[in-house]
Structure 1
Amino acid sequence: MSTEELILSQAQELRRGTVVLACLALLERPQYGYALLETLNAAGVTVDGNTLYPLLRRLEKQGLLTSEWNTDEPRPRKFYRVGPQGSQVRTGLVREWEDLVTSISRLIKESR
């Protein structure tokens, strides 16, 4: 495996762990799955629909998201939004993320 392939593979692993936090951050305002997918990809958080949709269902089952069908338009869409427990989890994950960034930044600085 080339160095470039290894970097891409490891970068994918890094991103995979951040998708939950990204979704909880973006779903403060209701969004339907495809719009969320487009927003994440545009922000550089590359996610496949086959990954995102099961994740949204899992987060809803865990009580972190709520959903509602919008049938006002010709094509019904399921909108997701962070629920009260999801907001609490998001706050905790943001704190964990910030602590992790600080720790990794310190390790990188010390290793140079």
Structure 2
Amino acid sequence: MRICFFLLDHGKYKAVIPSLLSAVEHELAINTDNNDIGQRLIRRLQYSLEEGNNGGFRYAVGISVASLLANGLFMRHSFNEERVPLINRNWILHGRDDPSKWIRIDVYKLITVISALKLIQKD
């Protein structure tokens, strides 16, 4: 994470954003104890949260993060459509997004998602 903050401080978003997206998927895989990718990981997270739903803190945070991922960051978005305001995992990892449009706040959003996923990890 130190390297990500170094890159952030030096405005190297082209390096830090794809790395953080990989970290988001890594944290999802840890939370779901699964090797799926993308939307399947989010569905597994939602299922595990619903399965253990006791209306507690983990559920409230987890379901919010899962919704943000499913309806934003990991949302299916055709490469032929206009770019959406929230960065999109598929567009970035498949080289379809314009890195010149990535900004500091995008990095902070990804760090926040990673932090939330770490927060809800089962012990």
Using structure 1 for the length normalisation, give the TM-score: 0.26
* Larger RCO (CA under 8 A, 6+ residues apart): 2
Using structure 2 for the length normalisation, give the TM-score: 0.24
